[in-house]
Structure 1
Amino acid sequence: MPDSISISPRPGSANDAIKVRGACPHDCPDTCALLTTVEAGVAVKVQGNPDHRHTGGVLCTKVSRYTERSYHPERILQPLRRVGPKGSGQFEAVSWDSALDEIAARLQAIAQRDPQAIAPYSYAGTMGLVQGEGMAGRFFNKLGASLLERTICSAAGTEGLTQTLGGKVGMKVEFFAEARLILIWGSNSIASNLHFWRHVQEAKRRGARIICIDPRKTETAEKCHEHIALQPGTDAALALGIMHELIVHDWLDHAYIESHTIGWPLLRERALLWNPERVAQVCGIPVEQVRALARDYGECFVNGQPAAIRLNYGMQRVRGGGNATRAVACLPALTGAWRHRAGGVLLSSSGMFPVNQAALQRPELRAGRQSRTLNMITIGDDLLRSSSADFGPKIEALIVYNSNPVAVAPDSGKVVQGFAREDLLTVVLEHFQTDTADYADFILPATTQLEHWDVHGAYGHTDVLLNRPAIAPVGQARTNTDIFRGLAARMGFSEPCFLEDDETLCRTAFSHRDGDRINFDELLDKGFATLPGPDAPFAEGRFLTPSGKCEFFSARLAAQGLDGLPDHVPNHETAGTSASYPLAMISPPARNFLNSTFVNVKSLRDIEGEPLLEINAVDAAVRGIATGSVVKVFNQRGSYRVRAEVSNRARPGVVHGLGVWWRKFGLDGTNVNELTSQHLTDLGRGPVFYDCLVQVQLEAESVL
């Protein structure tokens, strides 16, 4: 690193301070508006923008410390080339020209044989439309590389909502404050949806009843009136049980059902199979809790009061996650909850944003070439495959950006084996030497959110946000877009679209032939703009499905040979079915990290402590485990050593491996994904992180 570069903030004169509007880039429903205070060219403070109604000047602990990421002493500030064995983390500094020249030459040699042997791997390290798949999409389309199914988070729920409501759409988050009943289903909102929790608190002050449905007794569950601790993967059964009671007691809006739904007679027949006793047995909860939940929901209809459901991604990370989402999404149409602006369901609002992905990513650059599609969940298996007629060419090159697959992908023992291949060219765009970067041939230093242009939609509200660069790139860091432009130029890609700058790409994101959907001047002026739309989107039906109705029965699923109705789909690995692995394990995120981001920020890691396995006192006692014990958690895929915490957050028979810690911070260089599988969900080909059986045993190490 050149001597003239400092990565420590340098305070300047107060008169020099400016505030730059931006947006939080992280994978969170809140998508906060930021204000970055800059003094003498250095960012000294990041805070929430008080003018943005959803942010209200408040940031989570993680993002309020964002300058610690941008000026982190371990930040990578120049290109690095591997000099040691893969995984050793041994690198030497090289120039940008040297790195890009060598990478481009090696990619060209592979592409001449078969460009499908080159694959991207990316996800939501930034949610930005420009630094995400903007210029990167153009590069890989022109190259003809393999396509990637980016399904690691929300694919099952996306498909479930699409088949039922027509897309990732729902009620507006701000109106939860007016609801009389709120079901928080599969979400630890205090940790992962902070600004939504403000609306919950307001509703609670107005007398609303708040119920949390979650296998784990989270911080959110502790603050609700009731916690329903169902078995992992049984959410659809509970939703069908609610339907059963709505039918039996006639807590139904027959007019809404008649006018605005399809498939009611078939759904009614199925729901009547799910009496409270059956539901209680499947879900592992008291039968009266099933009845009371349905009564709470049904009586809102009887009393003309709005009932709102906030879904999140925990419930869909099991085999039946798509069906579970479908089942819950049917409930508001049964009681006509959609008639109220404070009624309905919200999993994601991202389907409301008119993003022009084609203009950003330019799929026509493939020029009709066929490309195979890889699923990011199965990267462990795919990196170990040889060329075949079914699979296509062996993967010879992998370009990773906005992701840390060695830490976050399931069945990580296989993922590590694949990344350790000496014949695999691996290029990683990163801020830090993550678990994945340790296996790179080249690490290319990327800019953080404070250093580049970007534009963001949201999945928890309906505002578009613009991010302006607050500071110049630190060290030799370059934007993702610049890196892909540099590779494109070296590979002879001469199309004008590779020369467009980032502000142009920001404008392109919401541009359409019939006119821009977002006023970009408003974004430049305020930093955010609100999408137009009705307060109660489905009060008069008008769903986004082909029929225009809420589709209890999906003809599209039936045409694929799938069940057209939602149903309970048991887990791939169902609790109580294995003598060798008797415990169900879920792996919810640690509160002070966001997936694997922020794990290396010491102040946050100090708050979080260390990787833990939460275990109920009943399960701990029979194994001789106490808080602080080192335990071995294992199954047929691998093993993971971690400290235990005996906790009432875990129900008997279920343990919680808190994630996603970097492997290098684990007791033996692994993390909880050593145990998770590459199985896929029923709909959407998503991951099943919470569909996992394990055994836990006490290790010989003493208790701390």
Structure 2
Amino acid sequence: MNSAGAVTPTHCPYCALQCGMGLTPVAGGGVEVVERADFPVNRGALCGKGRTAPAVLASGVRLDSPLVREGGVLVPASWESALDRIAGALGGIRTARGADAVGVFGGGGLTNEKAYALGKFARVVLGTSQIDYNGRFCMSSAAAAGTRAFGLDRGLPFPLEDVPRTGCLILVGSNLAETMPPALRYLTELRANGGTLVVIDPRRTRTAEQADLHLAPRPGTDLALALGLLHLVVAEGRTDEAYIRERTVGWAQARAAAMEYWPEYVERITGVPVPRLREAARMFCAPEAAMVLTARGPEQQSKGTDTVGAWINLCLATGRAGRPLSGYGCLTGQGNGQGGREHGQKADQLPGYRKLDDPAARRHVAGVWGVDPDSLPGPGRSAYELLDALGTDLRALLLMGSNPVVSAPRAAHVEERIRSLEFLAVCDVVLSETAALADVVLPVTQWAEESGTTTSLEGRVLLRRRAVAPPRGVRSDLEVLHGLAARLGVGKGFPVDPEEVFEELRRASAGGAADYSGITYRRLAEEGGVFWPCPASEAGGEGGEGGGVPHPGTPRLFLDRFATVDGRARFVAVSHRAGAEEPDAEYPVLLTTGRVVAQYQSGAQTRRVPELNAAAPGPFVELHPRLAARVGVAEGEPVAVVSRRGRAVAPARITSAIRPDTVFMPFHWPGEGRANTLTNPALDPTSGMPEFKACAVRVEGA
């Protein structure tokens, strides 16, 4: 923590761009944000959320004392009594009903140290298999598809600095102008350098307005669109046959599947005219290098893994993967969505991106933890399945850094399941809608009040530094886990110093796919970030200490070989299939959801910032003028959107920038405008991703 007037270099607490910023103390307490131009990703630029992030540190906005439920009301309590109550409840339910009666739900905003400690706590202290996190709702489909094709998942296998230097970028289901505003300059620079931009989105967003070509498919048809483009690439002789022979397997089957999607058929499915399909294929294949980046649009579907797989197939067929300035990547959403799953929050993974059902992985991690490998539970439920089971065989839940009452699909049902629990404990910085239902709420430190690491969408491991002391009544999540572990009979193995936790994480990740063993806090401070994998040097100590040469990190993956056994990428034959819910006479319209620039995720923090609320004060329903006329609603009037799961009401926002058969709602708000009251929890069979991006609804006057 720096002295008064000094600037602490750190990173924004919000999205996975992890923009660099500086924090400096202000008179009377607290900090203010100053520009940090030396960090290459944002070069000092920040969106409104980043600039106003210190507002959530203020007294009266954040929690500053533990709360326990007495007589149905949350009242202040001491830390010792609150921890005693949590440990007693978790331990008692575990003893009475078994370890899997207790669940853990984490968050993609937790630092690597917290995510690692939380996964260890679930498996070593509680002995439960029932752990997952809200990052399952972020990029799990892209992770599954990337692992299937390349043998390894890292959001971007290349740094963002490569994007402006490629020849063509296809951006699928991403509205960077609102979700990651400082990244929009990469698209501007791309076009200034002579490259072309294709944006695929059912809405003409601010990002789509920057495009050379905008394709607006029906929600849920991105898979057919990708197959149609691959069909055209084959039919027009644009495949890279030498690359396919030398660096891939499975092409014959993938090609045969794509040839069933001739342009006119794809137009009928997607609504995208054939000439525009041909233009997109031509633009992608014309330059020497090209990229495809996906985000939640194609991923948050019940066929999201196959949809991303189809876009990867397009890259592989044209030789646009594992080559300079070319490749497929996923734009991770949450601040530490990448690192959060690499190190143990995900139901089927151990630290280092090791698989929980791999005996060698279990032996390695158990050795670091000092436990018997056989004592580690097996894989548990994915995120929505875990939430859906609350109150049945799963009786208690410890939740950190998530607000599923607003963010989960079929949110009214999830809220009902949470209310049915015997016991709920929540660790958060504010009294979120989920925390308000808890039996115990613990106030925990925020980004500016603690040190720790995050891993950005580039796979760049970064160090956030403590700039200010937390309020007296607030403790860190690591202190919470330490206190609970001790009360539950595990007195060692849960340190409160984040650097000490990271040192153990390094050992646990060593040799794994996400190898951090060559990364130290010292390196991160000196170098400003290190790309994983970064193994310990062989010639000396870890991270190059003790005389060895440190591994430089890996900004660009797959240039020599893919992370598969034979070094070749895998084509996977995929076919389009209808969404879990298609429009019908009762529900004739499709709903898709997303974000607005001034709010973030469930809004638990950003809705407490006056400047952001002034810019985005509440939910709305975006609909086409033809649909508005048919419903009989005018601009600003309340409109109801009804699905098979519930009803949401918000003011109408009428625009020709959306398809006439589609409505859009942002998902940041609770109450009657809660978009996730409507969304469908139908799951991708591979990734466990719910189908947030397409469900059948009807629209009517409120």
Q: Determine if the TM-score, normalized by the shorter chain, exceeds 0.5.
A: yes
CA deviation profile, 1:569-622 (whole Å, cap 9, x unmatched): 3210124xx111011101111221221141222221110121001011111111
The 1:344–1:648 alpha-carbon spacing in structure 2 relative to 1, beyond 3 Å, is same
Which string of whole-angstrom CA distances, capped at 9 and with x for unpartnered residues, describes residues 252-274 of structure 1?
A: 21110111111112222221111
Q: 2:548 corresponds to which residue?
A: none
Query: Map of 1:498-513 to 2, 5 A cutoff?
Result: 498-499=494-495, 501-511=497-507
2:436 maps to: 438
Q: How big is the shift at 1:224?
A: 1.4
Q: Is the 8 A contact 2:495 2:501 kept in 1?
A: no
Give, in whole Å, the separation in 1 of the partners of 2:368 and 2:593. Answer: 34
User: Are 2:226 and 1:239 aligned?
Assistant: yes
For residues 180-329 of structure 1, the aligned pairs below 5 Å read 180-300=167-287, 305-329=288-312
The residue number in structure 2 matching 1:559 is none
In structure 2, do the counterparts of structure 1 residues 256 and 610 end up closer, same or farther at CA, with 3 Å as the change threshold?
same
Q: CA deviation at 1:529?
A: 3.3
1:455 to partner: Cα distance = 0.9
Q: 1:388 is matched with which residue?
A: none
Match of 2:535 in 1: none
Instruction: Write the mapping of 1:204-603 to structure 2, written as runs, cut at 5 A.
Output: 204-300=191-287, 305-338=288-321, 340-347=323-330, 350=338, 356=352, 358=365, 362=369, 364=371, 367-368=374-375, 370=377, 373-385=380-392, 394-421=393-420, 424-459=422-457, 461-494=458-491, 496-499=492-495, 501-511=497-507, 516-531=517-532, 532=552, 537-540=557-560, 542-553=561-572, 565-575=573-583, 578-597=584-603, 598-603=606-611
State the match for 1:561 in structure 2: none
Asked if the contact 1:445/1:477 (under 8 Å) is kept, the reply is: yes
Letter in 1 for 2:105: Y
Contact 2:23 2:467 in 1 (8 A): yes
**Shift of residue 370 of structure 1?**
4.0
The CA distance in 1 between the partners of 2:68 and 2:481, in whole Å, is: 18
After TM superposition, the structure 1 stretch with the greater mean CA deviation from structure 2, 42-51 or 597-606, is: 42-51
How many residues of Structure 1 are paired with residues of Structure 2 in the alignment? 646
Distance in 2, Cα, partners of 1:618 & 1:250:
41
Amino acid at match of 1:36: L
How far the C-alpha of 1:225 sits from its partner, in A, is 1.8
User: Which SS does the other structure have where 1:587 is aligned?
Assistant: strand
Give, as a single letter, the amino acid of the residue that structure 1 aligns with 2:665.
G
CA deviations 1:447-489 (Å, max 9, x no partner) are 1101112111122x24221112111112411100101111111
**Corresponding residue for residue 359 of structure 2:** none
Partner in structure 2 of residue 177 of structure 1: 164
Determine helix, strand or coil for the equivalent of 1:510: helix
Say yes or no: does 1:698 pair with 2:701. Answer: yes
Displacement after TM superposition at 1:348 (Å): 5.4
Question: Is 1:16 the counterpart of 2:15 in the alignment?
Answer: no
Aligned residue identity for 2:687 = G
Gaps of 5+ in 1: 1-13, 386-393, 554-564, 700-704
Change (3 A) 1:110 1:535: closer
Distance 1:76-1:15 versus aligned 2 partners, 3 A rule: closer
Question: Could you tell me whether the CA contact under 8 Å between 1:453 and 1:469 is conserved in 2?
Answer: yes
State yes or no: 1:654 paired with 2:669.
no
One-letter amino acid matched to 1:620: A
Instruction: Mark the CA change 1:546 to 1:41 in structure 2 (over 3 Å): closer, same or farther.
Output: farther
Q: 2:91 maps to what in 1?
A: 108
1:626 counterpart SS class: coil
1:74 aligns to what SS in structure 2?
coil
Q: Is the 8 A contact 2:64 2:471 kept in 1?
A: yes
Distance, in Å, in 1 between the alignment partners of 2:71 and 2:415 is 16
1:488 is aligned with what amino acid?
A
* 1:526–1:48 distance in 2 versus 1, CA, 3 Å: farther
**Partner residue in 1 for 2:41:** 54
Aligned counterparts of 1:616 and 1:545: Cα–Cα separation in 2: 46
Q: CA deviation at 1:127?
A: 4.0
Aligned alpha-carbon RMSD (Å):
2.5
The residue aligned with 2:139 is 154
1:411, 1:675 within 8 Å by CA — same for their partners in 2?
yes
Q: Is the 8 Å Cα contact of residues 37 and 43 (structure 2) preserved in structure 1?
A: yes
- From the superposition, tell whether residues 471 and 41 of structure 1 become closer, same or farther in structure 2 (CA, over 3 Å): farther
The CA deviation at 1:338 is: 3.4
Map 1:580-659; keep pairs closer than 5 Å: 580-597=586-603, 598-659=606-667
Checking the alignment, whether the CA contact within 8 Å between 1:70 and 1:448 is kept in structure 2 is yes
Q: Following the alignment from structure 1 to structure 2, what is the Cα–Cα distance between the partners of residues 547 and 570?
A: 34
Q: CA deviation at 1:339?
A: 6.4
Distance 2:580 2:652 in 1: 26
Once residues 111 and 544 of structure 1 are traced to their aligned partners in structure 2, the CA distance between those partners, rounded to angstroms, is 40
Separation (CA, whole Å) in 1 of partners of 2:180 and 2:233 = 30
Q: How far apart, in 2, do the equivalents of 1:371 and 1:617 lie? A: 52
Task: State the shift of 1:324 in Å.
Answer: 0.7
Cα distance in 1 for residues equivalent to 2:575 and 2:476: 45
SS of 1:325's partner is helix
SS in 1 for 2:664: strand
- 1: CA distance, partners of 2:214 / 2:280: 11
Q: Per-residue deviation at 1:635?
A: 1.8
Distance change (3 Å), C-alpha of 1:38 and 1:482: same
The 3-state SS of whatever aligns with 2:32 is strand
- Distance 1:171-1:369 versus aligned 2 partners, 3 A rule: closer
| Offset from partner CA, 1:613-664 (integer Å, 9 cap, x none) | 1011111111101111111111221111111111123211110011121x1x
Q: Which of 643, 654, 677 matches 2:680?
A: 677
TM-score (norm 2): 0.87
Structure 1 residue 120: Cα displacement:
0.8
The CA distance in 2 between the partners of 1:292 and 1:601, in whole Å, is: 44
Amino acid at match of 1:492: G
Q: Give the 3 Å change call, closer, same or farther, for CA 39–603 of structure 1 in structure 2.
A: closer
Of 508-517 and 195-204, deviating more is 508-517
Q: Cα deviations across residues 284-341 of structure 1 (Å, max 9, x unaligned)?
A: 11111111111212222xxxx2112221122111121111100101222212223642
Matches of 1:653 and 1:104, distance apart in 2: 51
Rounded Cα–Cα distance in structure 2 between residues aligned with 1:187 and 1:452: 31
Paired residues of 1:136 and 1:361 also in contact (CA < 8 A): no
Letter in 2 for 1:588: G
Contact 2:142 2:299 in 1 (8 A): yes
Distance 2:456 2:531 in 1: 11
Distance 1:200 1:72 in 2: 39
Could you say if the C-alpha distance between residues 308 and 573 of structure 1 is closer, same or farther in structure 2, counting changes exceeding 3 Å? same
What SS is found at the alignment partner of 1:471?
A: coil
Q: Deviation string for 1:334-363 (max 9, x for gaps)?
A: 122236422222115859989647489949
CA deviation vs aligned residue, 1:416-471 (integer Å, no higher than 9, x gap): 212223x5211111111111011111111011101112111122x24221112111
Could you say if the C-alpha distance between residues 552 and 633 of structure 1 is closer, same or farther in structure 2, counting changes exceeding 3 Å?
same
- CA deviation profile, 1:117-146 (whole Å, cap 9, x unmatched): 11111222x241113342553355321124
Cα deviation 1:141-193 (Å, max 9, x = unaligned): 32112422432221111111111122224333211111221111111111223
Letter in structure 2 aligned against 1:96: W
Quick one: distance in 2 between partners of 1:336 and 1:284?
28
Q: TM-score, normalised by structure 1?
A: 0.87
For 2:645 and 2:153, the matched residues in 1 are separated by: 34
> What is the distance in 1 between the residues matched to 2:144 and 2:456?
18
Shift of 1:231: 0.8
